[in-house]
Amino acid sequence: MIEFLNMGGYGAYVWSAYGIGFVVLLANVRSARAYYRKQLARAIARRQDSNT
Amino acid sequence: MRIWLPLQRLVSARYFFEFSSRILPWLGWVTLLILLTGLGWGLFYAPTDYQQGESYRIIFIHVPSAWMSMFAYMVMAGCSAIFLIWRIRIMDLFATSTAPIGASFTLIALATGSLWGRPMWGTYWVWDARLTSELILLFLYFGVMALRAAIDEPRRQGRAVALLTLLGVVNIPVIHFSVEWWNTLHQPASITKAAAPSIHLSMLIPLLLMALGFTLLYLYMALQRTQGAIIEQEIDSTWLQERLSNNTIETEGGTGK
Amino acid sequence: MKTRHRRLLFITAGVLALTGATLLVLNAFRSNLVFFHTPTEVAEGTAPLEQLIRIGGMVEENSVEKTSESLHVSFRVTDFDHSITVTYDGVLPDLFREGQGVVAEGRLRDSVFVADRVLAKHDENYMPPEVAAMKLDEKAQNTPKKYYK
């Protein structure tokens, strides 16, 4: 396990590369979903306004 | 022109929205599955490289991101061209959704390449033609996003952004051929159409899996953003309000992490 | 923030980004488009020898000499027509080895290239060690052509 994490001495480079990739992509997935939900909530609020 | 009918439907905001709603949950899970398989294969199963040791495992992130950075730009440019010629609004929305995702892939490609370069080349960064043109791509994405945010009037906004996107497309062949046209520190492509790949099959499979996973992830995120944009624009349209009152819209917004 | 201010901010950001991109292009075209010169260009005098330059080529087999106490190292860089002796004081990158590509940055002094920086150039091949051993003969024939065009 330690050996795997060490990556033949390149652990710091390999894991920071994978870390950056993961963080940036996760932030993307989240922001796409947040945008969708925000617009959906806005549309629902609009419908309730027009009903009352 | 009957054969055009399905296409015409798809480019209408309403059908695009419904089509996306149907495929997004599936797409999410398939993407996750492929990405996890690719990651596991690349990190655990793929053999060590004969020259670079374990550090080469960075390419499983780096190369697919670099491909996606260019692919996303080409999609954006294609959408912009269609939008400028036929004024199909959904194309403008899809291009808008693509820009931040493409910028992210470019950023990942640059950062991971740098982390590979430090131990292997002996430097984080050099101003060679490949690295410089990829950095310009990042600035192009930023420029496109900034220009869109700067113009409020929707008609002018779409047109101006589409034009800028099309101007920037010259950079794509420059990135691709930079390693052939000029002396660069960056190595030439390992996978080309002309010759057999100079990467061993045991490393090629996880690389292609990651590339497929990134492509699907891009589609997933771009479709969801486009859906958001459709709601934003069509907020008062009858079909959307009807769907809302029937409560048929996926409120969770799909699957995934 | 007012819409007007926001617009101004974004226009400024857009202009800055585009200016930055253009400057980078110009900078790249001025001196760095050719990232390195070959030993042949140095021998024929077509490389700008009066300034700091980079030379690139293959590290000649059996040419690397290291002194055990210090980081001083000397080796020959070749493009198979001409070769130059390079001296360097510093840590070599991990991919530096005989028979592989290298780029050295520095100046030519009395026909010896004194490098301030040595970068290793990777080829486009990725394979496990066993396969590499099998392909060794084939590779020796292919690699030189790809480095020097």
Using a CB-CB cut-off of 8 Å, the residues of chain B touching A49 are none
Number of domains in chain A: 1
Neighbours of C31 (CB within 10 A): 13
Which other chains touch chain A, taking contact as 3+ CB pairs less than 8 Å apart? B
Closest CA to B35 of B197, B252, B221: B221
Distance CA B140, CA B117 (A): 24
Q: What is the pLDDT of residues A14-51, one digit of tens each?
A: 999 999 999 999 999 999 999 999 999 998 888 777 76
CB-based contact B119:A16 (threshold 8 Å) = no
Comparing A3 with B137, which gets the higher pLDDT? Answer: B137
**C-alpha to C-alpha distance for C6 and B253, rounded to whole angstroms:** 30
CB contact under 8 A, B49 and C94: no
CB contact under 8 A, A32 and B225: yes
Class of domain C39-147: mainly beta
3-state class (DSSP) for residue B216: helix
Q: Is B201 on the interface with C (CB under 8 A)?
A: no
Pairing of strands C72-78, C101-109: unpaired
List the one residue out of C72, C71, C43, C73 whose CA is nearest residue C57.
Answer: C43
Backbone angles phi, psi at B47, to 5 degrees: -70, 165
For A40, the domain range is: 22-52
Token pair belonging to C130: 């066993």
Phi, psi of B187 (to 5 degrees): -70, 160
pLDDT of B31 reads: 97
Low-confidence ranges of chain B (pLDDT < 50): 1, 254-257
- Residue B99 neighbours by CB distance under 10 Å: 25
Q: In angstroms, what separates the C-alpha of A23 from chain B's closest C-alpha? A: 10
User: For position C146, what pLDDT does the model report?
Assistant: 40
Which site among B36, B49, B112, B245 would you substitute to test the A interface, given the most A Cβ atoms closer than 10 Å to its Cβ? B112
The answer to the question of residue A7 being in a domain is no
φ, ψ for residue B254 (rounded to 5)? 95, -170
- Domain containing B133 equals 28-191+205-245
Total structural domains in chain B? 1
Give SS3 for B84: helix
Cβ–Cβ contacts within 10 Å for residue C145, how many? 9
- pLDDT-based confidence at residue C28 (cuts at 50, 70, 90): low
Check pLDDT > 80 for residue C147.
no
Could you tell me if residue B121 is inside a domain? yes
Position B253 in a domain: no
pLDDT at C44 over 60: yes
Give the model's confidence band at C24: pLDDT under 50 very low, under 70 low, under 90 confident, else very high: confident
The pLDDT of residue C30: 57
Q: Which residue has the higher pLDDT, C73 or C134?
A: C73
C131, pLDDT greater than 90: no
In a domain? residue A1? no
- At residue B74's C-alpha, the angle toward residues A37 and C16, to 5°, is 80
pLDDT of residue C148: 38
- pLDDT higher for B91 or C46? B91
Residue B12, in any domain of the structure? no
Q: Phi/psi zone of residue A20: left (φ > 0), alpha (ψ -120 to 50 degrees), beta?
A: alpha
Domain ranges of chain C: 1-33, 39-147
Q: What is the ipTM of this complex?
A: 0.91
Q: Which of B62, B200, B202 to mutate to test the interface with C (most CBs of C within 10 A)?
A: B200
